[in-house]
A and B are shown apart, each in its own frame.
Chain A
Amino acid sequence: MKGAWRVWQRNWTVYRQTWRISFVPPLLEPLFYLLAFGIGLSALIGEITYRGVGISYIAFIAPALIAINIMQSAFFENTYASFVRMYYQKTFNAMLATPLSLEEVITGEIVWGATRSLIGTAIMMAVISAFGLIRYPEGLLLLPLALLGGLAFGAIAMLFTSIVPNIETFNLPIFLFITPMFLFSGTFFPIDALPPWAGSLAQFLPLTHLVRLARDLSYGQIGPEVFGSLAYLLLFTLVAYLLALRGMARRIIR
């Protein structure tokens, strides 16, 4: 799997040339959300009860913003960006004429997607910490969480990349998968507020677990219940990864 690291390095080499642009969204996005939702909506909402404790609305959504960014960074990297490399630039084809194997190429791409999540999380943590919304040292565990969440969403993104006929088709998983998760995974309001059937459904969404973990780590409330969410994310990652490898083999090896 050393080859996967080579693929990762290729993306890192490209990223280093454009990092100034890539830095901006994770820096500004939390600011916008914290201002609009946190300050604007806070006045209307007041306190919110999370796990029996009252917290401010801004403290409630801050970890969710990190989780959403983890999801989006990896998902967009391994859909649009990976698709461009695979389909338009033929980068994978070139790599396959070297000692690299397809598994290494795909793994390197997914790990790179997770790296984008990690970078985004680190920047967002800096911004959110300035508001005093992350408790340390427990909050540092958000970084490995970003990697895990990035792998989960990178792997599922790669699965979509292996089956879409063209780049426009990504609208479908974004509209049917990413957007509902963005709204209904306990991000901007607690899952308890959903009708029971929808609440149970939300338990199957990977973002629900990522948001829960991000809150627990940000608040420093790490209890045994984190293992359930961790296990779900790991399982999700593993299944999506294996399906992505299979899908890519079908797509590329002809």
Chain B
Amino acid sequence: MDEVIVAENLRKEYGTFRAVDGISFQVQRGECFGLLGPNGAGKTTTIRMLYGFTPKSAGSLSVLGLDLDTNLRTIKGRLGVCQQENTLDPDLTIEQNLEVFARYFDIPKGESRRRADELLAFIALDHRRHAKIPELSGGMMRRLMLARALINNPEIVILDEPTTGLDPQSRHQVWDRLEVLKNRGLSILLTTHYMDEAARLCDRLVIIDHGRILVEGEPRALIRRHVGDHLIEIVDPTDRLCTYIKNERLEHENLGYRMIVYAQEQGLYAKICSLGAQGCSLRQATLEDVFLRLTGRELRE
């Protein structure tokens, strides 16, 4: 397996603020790699450094085996970037958005028309090709952003929060398209703060916070390592139960009206239920549990 992205000790400073504080990771060819983290963790800054939009303060970055500092134009020609904010061109139709974008990559007219047709069919917008951008729904715009990022047949697509703000139907449609791309062997790097998205799409991921990597690994392995397969959630725990958990030194998190117990042993669930908690449930641990455990529960605003 070869690495399509190698980031080493990547840093970005704004004055004294370190947005990205020494991040290292590799993306393998053909995998979907996730950058997870709460708002302001440094995801977007990292991604912007990957396509040269934001110059890095320190560290080294190689994309497709080329050093980013000296080969930026070549690298950008082989990347597909789907930015977080809508950057579609409202002065142009759907079809023109793709064709005008193709010109930026020096794709000849006949070829760009053929690719635009193909991509519009791929994102199921071929019936709206002459529509203007403001006529589209949020989901359609996001699909078009994805199609536009594919116009140059990129070897890597970089997606910055591809489904933020979409309704469930649209999210699933985007995921479905991304899975098709993954099966075609495209390397994907995505940022998200939706854990279900990361669990579904990512082969490997890192969770970052305050500009640093907290953990790296496969989603399932991360869950097993940091939370375990299951956890017990208790609504309104009784005092008796609290004392029991404290005395037994069970790994837990007390959220006041709710308590999460990370312990694994068989029989514990029955024991806890018998101690008189009302809403007590045993459930499968998710990536979200890992995420909240590692990045904390306080709001990021």
Contacts of B53 in A (CB 8 A): 93, 96-97, 253
- For the complex formed, measure the closest distance between the CB of B122 and the CB atoms of chain A, giving whole angstroms: 20
Indicate if the CB atoms of B73 and A89 lie closer than 8 Å: no
In the bound complex, CA of A93 to CA of B73 (Å): 15
Please tell me the size bucket of the interface on B: 20 to 34
- For the complex formed, measure the closest distance between the CB of A82 and the CB atoms of chain B, giving whole angstroms: 13
Chain A facing B: main interface SS: helix
Contacts of B101 in A (CB 8 A): 94, 98
B294 contacts the other chain (CB 8 A): no
- For the complex formed, measure the closest distance between the CB of A64 and the CB atoms of chain B, giving whole angstroms: 33
Q: B104-125: which have CB < 8 Å to A?
A: 104-106
Indicate if the CB atoms of B92 and A94 lie closer than 8 Å: no
Indicate if the CB atoms of A98 and B100 lie closer than 8 Å: no
- For the complex formed, measure the closest distance between the CB of B26 and the CB atoms of chain A, giving whole angstroms: 22
Contacts of B51 in A (CB 8 A): 97
Indicate if the CB atoms of A90 and B105 lie closer than 8 Å: no
User: Hey, what's the 0/1 contact readout for A87-106 against B, CB within 8 Å counting as 1?
Assistant: 00111011111111100000
The winner among B14, B53, B54, B105 for most chain A CB atoms within 10 A is B53
Indicate if the CB atoms of B86 and A90 lie closer than 8 Å: yes
Q: How many A-B residue pairs have CB under 8 A?
A: 66
Indicate if the CB atoms of B83 and A97 lie closer than 8 Å: yes
Contact of A93 among B76, B85, B149 (CB under 8 A): B85
B89 contacts the other chain (CB 8 A): yes
Please tell me the size bucket of the interface on A: 20 to 34
In the bound complex, CA of A244 to CA of B91 (Å): 25
Indicate if the CB atoms of A10 and B73 lie closer than 8 Å: no
Indicate if the CB atoms of B104 and A6 lie closer than 8 Å: yes
- For the complex formed, measure the closest distance between the CB of B68 and the CB atoms of chain A, giving whole angstroms: 14
In the bound complex, CA of A97 to CA of B51 (Å): 7
In the complex, residue of chain A having the shortest beta-carbon distance to the beta carbon of B52: A96
B103 contacts the other chain (CB 8 A): yes
The winner among A14, A17, A91, A97 for most chain B CB atoms within 10 A is A97
- For the complex formed, measure the closest distance between the CB of A112 and the CB atoms of chain B, giving whole angstroms: 13
Given A93-B83, A96-B53, answer yes or no on A101-B90 (Cβ-Cβ < 8 Å).
no
Closest 10 CB pairs of A and B: A94-B87, A97-B81, A98-B104, A90-B87, A14-B91, A99-B77, A99-B76, A99-B73, A6-B103, A93-B87
- The 5 listed contacts between A and B (C-beta, < 8 Å) are A17-B91, A93-B87, A96-B53, A97-B87, A253-B55
Chain B positions within 8 Å of A, measured between CB atoms, are 14, 51-55, 73-74, 76-77, 79, 81, 83, 85-92, 96, 100-101, 103-106, 149, 152
